Amino acid sequence: MKPITKSVVRKLFKMKWRVFAISMVVSLAMAMFIMGLYSAVIFDHSMDTFIEETNFPDVFVSLSEPVDYSVADGVVSNIEGIDTYSLRLKLDGTYHYDSDDYPAVIIGIEDPAREDISRLLLKDGELFNGNGEGNVIAGMEDIGAKVGEVLSFSTIGIDFDITVKGSVQTPEYMFASAIQDSSLPLPGHIVILYMDLGELQNITGFGINDILLNVADGQRDPVVGSLGSLPVSEIIFQEDHPSVVFMDIGAGKMRNMFPLFSVIFMVVGMISIFMTFYRIVMNDSRYIGVLMSLGYSRLKIAWAYMTFGTILAAIGSIIGMILGFLFTMGIMSYTMSMIGDIRVAYPMAPMPFVLGLIFSFGSVLISVGIPIIHITRQSVRQALDHKPKTKILTVGTAFSGLSKTRLMGIRNTFRNPARTALTVLVVGMSIGISGSWIVMADSAWGYMVDQVNQDTWDIRVDFSSPISNEDATSLLDLNETEYVIPFAYLAGQISGGGNSDSTFIVASDRVLETRDFELESGRLDLTTSVITNKLASELGVSQGDRITITVGAKTLETTVGGVVFDILMQAVYLDRDAASSLVDRENASSAFVKLQDKEDIDKVAAEFEEMEGVAKVTIQDDIINAMEETFGQGMGMLYFFFFICLIIAMVVAASAIIISTMERDIEFATLETLGIPRRKVIGSMLIEIGIIGFFSALIGLPFAYLFGKLFAIVMEDVLYYFPIVFAFSAMAITFAFGFLFVIGSSIFPIRYTGKLDAEKTIRERTAG
């Protein structure tokens, strides 16, 4: 190694733990950068893997009434183009637990170990293997649906018990949600039971009423067309299945959010890395001047410092890659647990790490290179005479009453105003990013409550098969009800604006009574169509645009009459005339019910559940509770980001302050020779850091709103649209935590000055 390189490398060894501290700036910036990119890749891969490894069916066929197994088998087995199929008996039922009743879906299947179609992934225990045994979808353990328990069910008025042998996962019920067709993964209490088909047939006396198909490429339409001899009530293609719809319209777009984090952290990381390395090199100006006087070329000097930067970048990168992977693991396991506890599949994806390495080495080398160019452009004399800027802000006698050490603290903050401003800006940005999570959580929560309160109905009832509007009304019209509004409810595809998406269609003449719709644009004109804002933004359509709605083979072309805000539904609202080409205008599949007194909700809901023909009863308050629960889980992730960003702010602040402390070590050594008590020296530093912390936290507030708004745009895809609103509590939390974390960073410079060798410092700093 050349002497010049050797000397710079030795400088590194002398810095000891400071090398680690400086590397942490690189590490954290890189870790967040990698986390953003790698999470996006893992998200996609995990979703694809989940769908693929479970052999999720291409087509879901529901029959309006059970048919004999051999009849269905005879039809399906003779259709060309079907790769594999599964015949099931699927019934709505009730699960009884602890004197409470919960909705249940009971599915009879031939072979739980089947892997070629709708494979059940075992989470716990084992697959059932005979009568009296079953498997439940994982996630309902809190209501007793867990391995080893004997569960009581009833369906079509028959009670039976099943011993749970294991809990399973399947994309078919990724979100065992009791909330009908929510575009958010809202939790709810519903038990999905898989049991032996033969046993369920024996209990109920039915054949099968549910068919899963995997078909050969391009054969889907002919296959569906060949099912005509069976009493088909509903055909759902894979891309229209609620789980896939959710992954496409909701969770799938989460992948857009993570790279955005990368970009923001990259900016903050680059600025803080630059600040750190620029100052380290500028502090060496005198030494660089000596090298210049000895005839070293700019290239050789630059090379030596590049070695210095490369070593620091390498240490930072190694830690950064490890941290990046750990952060990714943490965030992905949390994200996946929120959307069905899907197994996180880690792909071999070197690109995020390669980009991370390019980012960290690039940032460090640029940060080292710029000051080298700056110094070596000067004359030797200028380089030798270089001193850190010591511009002092003259405050006159304004603070003359203060103790001198406190005065030092105040003035040290402003001795280099430009540098302080940059430090405050970068730390403030980091605090702002932290605060944006709190701002977002506050705004999203408030908006969600507002939105949910706009619904006027108390109970939604879904019928097991369509019934006439009159029958629906008379069935549900009890003494306690204020209104019953039957409606037709369908799943379909919508296209417009050159795009296509899944949607739900709500057709009713009285739908406007069920909700205080908040218009984003246009009019509440149900004779054309009113669509939710999420759907409008997905398609890129607005009022007056033409859209096409497709349900199975039926098609409706209409115009967007208005766009309404809705956080839960991706839906199109129409009156019955407008929807007549899609639905039978006389029949209803569901109904909204408003009660005169909310106190009666549980009683009335229980009464509805007992009624024949009622498949599902949803209480409006359950949606609110489910959303609260979802938010409770989501808050964990938000707080994770909040604290990670605060730690970054702390490291950025610490790295800035430690370097300015190092520049002033002679002053701290002088204080020691003067016998200034340690507590006063610490006090002086705390004042300086406190001022930086105060202004950083203050500047962090507008940044919190700015980044909050930016993230909210992304979250609109992932979650729902919500406006960012000012909330004092979010501001207070951001300010307080931001300030405290910056103050916390003082531990590094305080420790540094505590270990300072006054004698050595004075000798070295005043030598020559």
Q: For residue 466, how many C-alpha atoms fall within 13 Å in the half-sphere facing its CB?
A: 14
* Diameter over CA atoms, the chain: 102
When the beta carbons of 411 and 510 are compared against other proteins, the nearer one is 411
Instruction: Report helix, strand and coil shares of the chain as percent, to nearest 5.
Output: 55, 20, 25
When the beta carbons of 135 and 405 are compared against other proteins, the nearer one is 405
Beta carbon of residue 141, minimum distance to other proteins (angstroms, whole number): 59
When the beta carbons of 554 and 765 are compared against other proteins, the nearer one is 765
Beta carbon of residue 3, minimum distance to other proteins (angstroms, whole number): 16
Beta carbon of residue 316, minimum distance to other proteins (angstroms, whole number): 29
Q: Tell which residue, 118, 114, 124, 122, has the closest CA to residue 52.
A: 118
What are the φ/ψ torsions at residue 467 (nearest 5 degrees)? -130, 165
When the beta carbons of 377 and 391 are compared against other proteins, the nearer one is 391
* Gap between the Cα atoms of 431 and 163, Å rounded: 52
In the complex, the residues that contact other proteins under the rule CB under 8 A are 390, 392, 394, 401-405, 407-408, 411-412, 415, 666-667, 669-678, 680, 758-759, 762-763, 765-766
Task: Return the structure tokens found at 519.
Answer: 């218009």
Beta carbon of residue 699, minimum distance to other proteins (angstroms, whole number): 23
Q: Tell which residue, 707, 731, 728, has the closest CA to residue 645.
A: 707
Beta carbon of residue 664, minimum distance to other proteins (angstroms, whole number): 9
When the beta carbons of 210 and 688 are compared against other proteins, the nearer one is 688
Beta carbon of residue 402, minimum distance to other proteins (angstroms, whole number): 8
When the beta carbons of 520 and 672 are compared against other proteins, the nearer one is 672
When the beta carbons of 402 and 624 are compared against other proteins, the nearer one is 402
When the beta carbons of 241 and 415 are compared against other proteins, the nearer one is 415
Q: Which residue has the tokens 């990013």?
A: 433
Beta carbon of residue 417, minimum distance to other proteins (angstroms, whole number): 13
When the beta carbons of 538 and 672 are compared against other proteins, the nearer one is 672
Q: Tell which residue, 314, 368, 326, 321, has the closest CA to residue 20.
A: 314
Three-class DSSP category at 504: strand
Beta carbon of residue 662, minimum distance to other proteins (angstroms, whole number): 16
Task: Return the structure tokens found at 488.
Answer: 């037709």
When the beta carbons of 729 and 766 are compared against other proteins, the nearer one is 766
Three-class DSSP category at 456: coil
Q: Any residues with CB less than 8 A from the CB of 368 and at least 6 apart, and which?
A: 277, 281, 305, 306, 308, 309
| SS3 sequence of 111-161 | CCCCCCCCCCEEEEECCCCCCCEEEEECCCHHHCCCCCCEEEEEECCEEEE
When the beta carbons of 279 and 664 are compared against other proteins, the nearer one is 664
**Residue 546: how many other CB atoms lie within 10 Å:** 12
Three-class DSSP category at 496: strand
Secondary element (H or E) of residue 461: strand 459-468
Beta carbon of residue 422, minimum distance to other proteins (angstroms, whole number): 19
Sequence length of the chain is: 768
Beta carbon of residue 763, minimum distance to other proteins (angstroms, whole number): 7
Q: Any residues with CB less than 8 A from the CB of 284 and at least 6 apart, and which?
A: 11, 305
When the beta carbons of 322 and 395 are compared against other proteins, the nearer one is 395
Beta carbon of residue 395, minimum distance to other proteins (angstroms, whole number): 10
* Gap between the Cα atoms of 384 and 375, Å rounded: 10
- The sign of the torsion formed by the CA atoms of 397, 402, 408, 409 equals negative
Q: Any residues with CB less than 8 A from the CB of 99 and at least 6 apart, and which?
A: none
Secondary element (H or E) of residue 266: helix 254-283
Q: Tell which residue, 47, 103, 179, 40, has the closest CA to residue 567.
A: 179
Beta carbon of residue 764, minimum distance to other proteins (angstroms, whole number): 12
Beta carbon of residue 665, minimum distance to other proteins (angstroms, whole number): 11
Q: Under a CB-based contact definition with an 8 Å cutoff, are residues 375 and 282 in contact?
A: yes
When the beta carbons of 290 and 676 are compared against other proteins, the nearer one is 676
When the beta carbons of 523 and 765 are compared against other proteins, the nearer one is 765
> Distance of CA 439 to CAs 434, 695, 729, 732, Å?
9, 19, 9, 11
Beta carbon of residue 397, minimum distance to other proteins (angstroms, whole number): 8
When the beta carbons of 286 and 411 are compared against other proteins, the nearer one is 411
Beta carbon of residue 667, minimum distance to other proteins (angstroms, whole number): 6
| SS3 sequence of 21-64 | HHHHHHHHHHHHHHHHHHHHHHHHHHHHHHHHHCCCCCEEEEEE
When the beta carbons of 356 and 690 are compared against other proteins, the nearer one is 690
Q: Tell which residue, 303, 325, 172, 139, has the closest CA to residue 242.
A: 172
When the beta carbons of 300 and 678 are compared against other proteins, the nearer one is 678
Q: Any residues with CB less than 8 A from the CB of 429 and at least 6 apart, and which?
A: 267, 268, 271, 699, 700, 703
Beta carbon of residue 375, minimum distance to other proteins (angstroms, whole number): 22
Beta carbon of residue 691, minimum distance to other proteins (angstroms, whole number): 13
Q: Which residue has the tokens 């291409």?
A: 58
Q: Under a CB-based contact definition with an 8 Å cutoff, are residues 95 and 145 in contact?
A: yes
